[in-house]
Chains A and B, each alone.
Chain A
Amino acid sequence: MLSRREFAQCAAGGSAAWLASAQTEVLTPADYTIDIAPYSLDLSPHSAIETVAYNAQVPGPLIQLQEGKPVTIDVSNRTNSPEVVHWHGLFLSPEVDGAMEEGTPMIPPRGKARYTFTPRPAGFRWYHTHTFAGHNHNRAQYTGQHGFVFIAPRENPGRYDAEIFLALHDWKGHLLASDDGSMNPVYDVSTINGRVLGFGEPLQVKPNQRVLFHILNSSPTEVHWIALAGHSFEVIALDGNAVPSAETVPMLRLAPAERVCAIVRTNNPGVWVLAEVRKHIQAAGMGMVVEYAGQSGKPRWQQPESLDWDYTRFGSSEPVAPRDDGAIEIPLVFRSKFAGHGEMDHWTINGKSFPHTDTIVLHQGQRYRLLLKNESTDNHPVHLHRHVFELRRIAGVGTPRGVLKDTILVDANTEAHVEFTADDPGLTLFHCHQQDHMDMGFMMLFRYA
């Protein structure tokens, strides 16, 4: 019986030939280079963490690409562990998507790899490590290995005056007994762009502008709620995909791996705080100061009294289509498997843990409806690689059309339905994006017939 760790080791061994080939190609200069290396990150004046980062910065460098224009990215792994870079939200072949479960070769310790692909679709994507952490909370997504990818459309319909990229992350994780009877990671420090509230440079904005925020939750396990005091967000895209109905909301909710693009109208001059809405997370550092030009004083925070988010409000106002629309239904039931009060739960999809989960066969061009039934007491941000899906039902309620995502948070003991078209042949990974859940078996593969 192979664990995910053993599966990864096998995959790393099998990647040597590909890497040799890749190294011979490193003759022409790459468009981008990424160095994966140990890095000491100052989270605050009093707190630092020894982590792993891309190009000695957290988040990693912003990679700006043009939709449809091929790109070459060289990656050097200067760590002592096999690594791989996943291009989250892009439609790439399994060989470069960045998941060894799909067949992307691992980059061995001190090794190199070259990723060459044609980026699509346009929008706000990201890249991150896709490795096993297990009980080591300074590996995989617990580290600083994440960065933004922005794929500019051929014709840019955006209208904004300034653009800001923010990454929410949690650090210094450790296991703690939780209400559900098992161990879960908790964190000492939470940051935006690698800094706690008050430590990083304030965001400088000008009055009467439309500022486009691209916000990514790169946390290994935590959902986050973000508000900007004195302002609201006009959400224009979820997971990088434009929404049919751009709604204005007081706060954003982002599950791990989710992204929100939202416009803030800078019409309330002052010095404000953009931060996690929940007090204990904000106290752990998740926040930053937003400063209007020419304004000074103590940053102001206005504490919301409730949490407010609804995927469905961003859908089209057109009526929900009937269910007998030709989509083939695939039920996927998520359950936990108790492993002891001193251990993390193990996870199953349809009763099996990866790598023993069933591999479901897809037929190209067919529409599929995933019936995501969460029979556990945890929420799960599930992610489908290499495809985008459309939300159809959330917690038993039909959703307006047109909300396209690659990650959806399925709340505990609820069911969500999403649809996608099998239009990108190759092995396709589906998993919970919580690092501890995917490590403990919450993954499965689709393959094309």
Chain B
Amino acid sequence: MRNVVARLRSASRLCGVLLPAFCPIVLLAQGNYEIQVYGSDTVAPQTTMLELHSNFTVFGQRYLIDGVYPTYHQEHETLELTQGVNDWSEVGFYIFTSEQNGHGVQWVGDHIRPRVRVPTSWHWPVGVSLSTEIGYQRAVYSPDTWTWEIRPIVDKAVRRWYFALNPALERTWHGPDVHQGLGFAPAAKVSFDFTKVISAGVEYYADYGKLFYFDAFHQQQQQFFAAADLNVSPNWEINFGVGIGVTAATDHLIIKGIIGRRFSWHKASPIE
């Protein structure tokens, strides 16, 4: 297995409920608990992946609006546990937390994420997998408390280049956006292998609003991250980056980091 540290995912989810455009205050749901574009690989069977996602919002929403905490100077720590089921599927589980002056360390919510992929024996020219994620987050962090996401994942490594695309669709099951229908929240990544250990590139996260009826641009969430991966070992995943939000509805500056470790639960045998 290649030491892939390109498995990034966007959890940047927003309500898209805006005050009038002339008003500088934008109401958006909390997001940015797991900022990652997914690669198509799944965790191997009898193996557990433990990841810690740390994201700090340097410049974000400063105001408490409709009971939703501001994102400004919030530190999000997300623990992700992924268990490989077989050669083509895995299940992930998330614990989201937030830390902020005046609020302390708070539990935000949990998600569960089964994922299947096209087996390598099918010899597809690109890696393909499909993830679905269901979960709850507290209303003080997201007005939409119960949400569901389906995320197709396509990726391809070509010499020193790596490309990944996650055209995710989201649905609110409980909250203000329950009648919105499917939202379109794509993410993408392009990176270059500068060395065997260091890869770096650009990650893109967006939420366009309702599928086929996109929000106005300033109401959309649009983020670009300069990110790097350190491929130090097949057992480790290390990713970090700095992102800017280019619309009023996006947190303007975020620093993110991911550190992950694989644990194998079977004794390696030379005959296996």
Contact = CB atoms under 8 A, between A and B. Distances in A.
Given A339-B159, A341-B162, A343-B160, A177 B270 contact: no
Interface in B101-124: 120-121, 123
Interface in B203-236: 231, 234
Interface residues of A, number: 25
What bracket does the count of chain B residues touching chain A fall in? Answer: 20 to 34
B158 A303 contact: no
A390 B129 CA distance: 51
Contacts of B3: 179, 181
Contact of B4 (A177, A304, A343): A177
A398 to B, nearest CB: 26
Interface stretch (A1-9, A113-121, A275-283, A319-327): A275-283
Contact of A179 (B2, B157, B199): B2
A186 B3 CA distance: 17
B196 interface: yes
A188 B121 CA distance: 7
A266 to B, nearest CB: 25
Interface in A414-432: none
A137 to B, nearest CB: 10
Given A176-B120, A179-B3, A279 B161 contact: no
A340 B52 CA distance: 27
A305 B267 CA distance: 13
Contacts of A174: 120, 123
Interface in A359-397: none
Contact of A177 (B2, B121, B199): B2
A303 B162 contact: no
Interface in B1-20: 1-4
A342 B270 contact: no
Nearest to A343: B159
B158 A342 contact: yes
A32 interface: no
B73 interface: no
A304 B157 contact: no
Interface string A182-225: 11001010000000000000000000000000000000000000
Given A307-B271, A341-B231, 12 more contacts: A177-B1, A178-B2, A181-B2, A181-B3, A181-B231, A279-B272, A280-B272, A340-B158, A340-B160, A340-B161, A341-B4, A341-B160
Interface of A: 174, 176-179, 181-183, 186, 188, 277-280, 303-307, 338-343
Interface of B: 1-4, 120-121, 123, 156-162, 193, 195-196, 199, 231, 234, 269-272
24 contacts: A174-B123, A176-B120, A177-B157, A178-B2, A179-B1, A179-B2, A179-B3, A182-B2, A183-B2, A186-B120, A278-B271, A280-B272, A303-B271, A305-B271, A307-B271, A338-B193, A338-B195, A339-B160, A340-B157, A340-B160, A340-B161, A342-B160, A343-B158, A343-B159
